[in-house]
């Protein structure tokens, strides 16, 4: 399976995927890394791993639709089977999402459906929730609303800050994101008629990894 990773920043999740591929824990091949920002450190990570890169700046396009068309053309040029969003800070248009339905993953730093959107760690602290974590989900046109595939959970301590929670949740992300990508690559995870299946059974709720 040929994989493209979309990035906007540091790219720590990209690095986790690159490391998993290097360690033979990801059977797919990362064939390209695409960023909307030329100064994204993730691009250097890709270059260091001899992975093709492309920069398509959203600022060069009059609207989201034309920007997404340019991205779609690049993905087609790379002959991509799977798109992985790794800190890609652009909201995708419904048309773009529909073309990659069931073939595009995102990871979100909360236990969806709770805390969609931004600033999840501070919001968890503000509400006093004792559990937090991350969710890998299929991407749909509605933000952070696609079917959840897997989640990993941590307990929030009284000493936690937004920064410490972010660091702890990142560690979870780096573990479960390559795992879910591998499930797609080896056929354990499939998408059929708008539903996710795991080991040929309907996935009715996200797979829970052990608490850390």
Q: Report the DSSP pairing between strands 29-35 and 207-208.
A: unpaired
Q: Are 195 and 147 in contact (CB under 8 A)?
A: yes
Whether residue 91 is annotated as binding a ligand: the answer is: yes
pLDDT on residue 143: 85
Whether residue 106 is annotated as binding a ligand: the answer is: yes
**What are the pLDDT digits (tens) for 5-41?**
999 999 999 999 999 999 999 999 999 999 999 999 9
Angle between helices 12-22 and 162-185 (to 10 degrees): 40
- Terminal CA-CA length for the chain: 30
pTM, rounded to two decimals: 0.95
Question: Could you give the residue numbers annotated as active site?
Answer: 108
Token pair in block for residue 202: 């309907």
Domains of the chain in sequence order: 1-100 (3.40.50.170), 107-138+148-211 (3.40.50.170)
Token pair in block for residue 105: 């993953």
Q: Are 36 and 90 in contact (CB under 8 A)?
A: yes
Give every CB contact of residue 29 below 8 A, 6+ residues apart in sequence: 1, 2, 3, 21
Whether residue 64 is annotated as binding a ligand: the answer is: yes
User: Is 212's pLDDT higher than 60?
Assistant: no
**What are the pLDDT digits (tens) for 26-84?**
999 999 999 999 999 999 999 999 999 999 999 999 999 999 999 999 999 999 999 99
Indicate the SS3 state at residue 77: helix
Whether residue 119 is annotated as binding a ligand: the answer is: no
Q: Report the DSSP pairing between strands 2-7 and 29-35.
A: parallel
User: Is 211's pLDDT higher than 80?
Assistant: no
Indicate the SS3 state at residue 66: helix
Q: Report the DSSP pairing between strands 131-138 and 148-155.
A: antiparallel
Q: Where are the beta strands (DSSP E) in 70-188?
A: 82-85, 104-108, 131-138, 148-155
User: Is 210's pLDDT higher than 90?
Assistant: no
Whether residue 186 is annotated as binding a ligand: the answer is: no
Q: What is the mean pLDDT of residues 134-161?
A: 95
């Amino acid at each position: 399976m040929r994989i493209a990773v979309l990035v906007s920043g540091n790219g720590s999740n990209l690095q986790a995927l690159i490391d998993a591929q290097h360690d033979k824990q990801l059977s797919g091949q990362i064939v390209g890394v695409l960023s909307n920002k030329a100064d994204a450190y993730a691009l250097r990570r890709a270059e260091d791993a001899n992975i093709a890169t492309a920069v398509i700046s959203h600022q060069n396009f009059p609207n989201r639709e034309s920007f997404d068309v340019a991205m779609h053309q690049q993905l087609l040029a790379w002959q991509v089977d799977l798109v992985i969003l790794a800190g890609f800070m652009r909201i995708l248009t419904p048309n773009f999402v529909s073309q990659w339905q069931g073939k595009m993953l995102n990871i979100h730093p909360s236990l969806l459906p709770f805390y969609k959107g931004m600033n999840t760690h501070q919001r968890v602290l503000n509400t006093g929730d004792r559990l937090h974590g991350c969710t890998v989900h299929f991407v749909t046109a509605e933000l952070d609303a696609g079917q959840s595939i897997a989640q990993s959970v941590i307990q929030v301590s009284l000493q936690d800050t937004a920064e410490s929670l972010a660091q702890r949740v990142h560690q979870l992300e780096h573990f479960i994101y390559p795992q879910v990508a591998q499930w797609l690559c080896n056929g354990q995870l499939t998408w059929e008629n708008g539903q996710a299946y795991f080991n040929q059974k309907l996935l009715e709720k996200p797979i829970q990894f052990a608490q850390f």
